[in-house]
Amino acid sequence: MILPMPHVHTSTFKVRFYECDPYGHVNNANYLRYMQEAAFEASAAAGYDLRRYAQMGRVWYAHATDIEYVRPVQYGDTVEVKTWVADFRRVTSRRAYELYSAATGALVARATTDWAFLDAATQKPIPIPDELIHTFWPEGAPASFAPRERFPSAPPAPEGAYRLRKRVQWRECDSAGHVNNAVYAEWAEECGMQCIAHYRWPVTRMAEAGIGIFYRRMWIEYLRPALFDDEIEITAWLSQVKRATAMRHFSVTRPADGALLARINILGVCADVRSGAPRRIPSEMLDDFAPNIAHCQANGHERGEER
């Protein structure tokens, strides 16, 4: 029996210098930008570019992203992004991605993004037409798809949760009129950097200790759009602290109406900045961050629990 296969599209990106962070690696948020652009190119190659969607009065909005970082990419590297539609539900679709080094063929990241199909005028979900489904699954879509993993839950924020308020900048908004998906990852990074400084472990101190905190996996759930000049509050706290890893949680809210705009979970690993090998989180760091750590005893997540 031959199973139906989706159309697979490959986009290629040359890493720009300004896309890299102080470690010399592509910034985590830029992986999301590669993915978003590859999705647009894949849809256009199938005959559904942004102009056609506009004529239809329809739009795709990202609802959730899950990305696993496998190995770093550096300035001058070329990244190949392979993408395909992994499933269709009534009003949503999951797009899968695999990112490779063009030079070595090594996998550098894998990801999925759940997209919601909306009426552009009402901004309400609308059923995905059969014609569109057939375009991305030329041999016909399967009768059913594998269940999706749920967005990982977070424990309640502890009293020592760090909070950052800021206003949405014009440059952070895209042509859809609201904050671009990748910007939420940048906000999490900005809040995270201020949080570690607040708890006396800025990157300069970590550098002196020869360690850094690197992303292993990131989940983002987009719940409501943030708009230009909105005041937002980003809250950061930790849980599931183990020997060399910890989960950092972020919530993005709009204080004006109390709306929850997004949730972000990031699995970070403490690693040697030179070799990239995991390192035990220093006990002094755990002591300093104690007020920021939410303990989840019911789930077996304790500070210092071995992996």
Tens of pLDDT, residues 16-61: 999 999 999 999 999 999 999 999 999 999 999 999 999 999 999 9
CATH no. of 152-307: 3.10.129.10
At residue 4, the pLDDT reads 63
Backbone angles phi, psi at 268, to 5 degrees: -110, 150
How confident is the model at residue 142, as a pLDDT?
82
Q: Which residues, at least 6 apart from 235, have a Cβ–Cβ distance to it below 8 Å? A: 157, 161, 162, 163, 164, 191, 250, 251, 253
* Per-residue pLDDT reduced to its tens digit, 270-292: 999 989 899 999 999 999 999 99
The residues near 100 (Cβ < 8 Å, ≥ 6 apart) are: 79, 80, 81, 82, 106, 107, 108
Task: Give 25's contacts (C-beta < 8 A, 6+ positions apart).
Answer: 72, 73, 74
Please give the pLDDT value at position 189.
97
Look at the alpha carbons of 202, 207, 210, 213 in this order and tell me if their dihedral is positive or negative. Answer: positive
Provide the whole-model pTM.
0.92
- Does residue 143 register a pLDDT over 80? no
* The pLDDT of residue 300 is above 80: no
* Strand ranges, E, within 141-258: 162-167, 211-222, 231-239, 245-254
> What pLDDT does 301 receive?
37
Residues in the chain: 307
Q: At what angle do helices 181-198 and 28-45 cross, to 10 degrees?
A: 170
Class of domain 1-149: alpha beta
- Model confidence at 3: pLDDT above 80: no
State how far the Cα of 51 lies from the Cα of 90, in Å rounded to an integer: 23
Q: What's the CA gap between 114 and 248, in Å, rounded?
A: 22
Judge whether residue 149 has pLDDT over 90.
Answer: no
List, for residues 226-246, the tens digit of each pLDDT value.
999 999 999 999 999 999 999
Q: What is the mean pLDDT of the chain?
A: 92
Given a cut of 60, whether residue 306 has pLDDT beyond it is no
Amino acid (1-letter code) at residue 71: R
| Per-residue pLDDT, 145 | 86
Task: Tell me where in the chain the CATH 3.10.129.10 domain(s) lie.
Answer: 1-149, 152-307
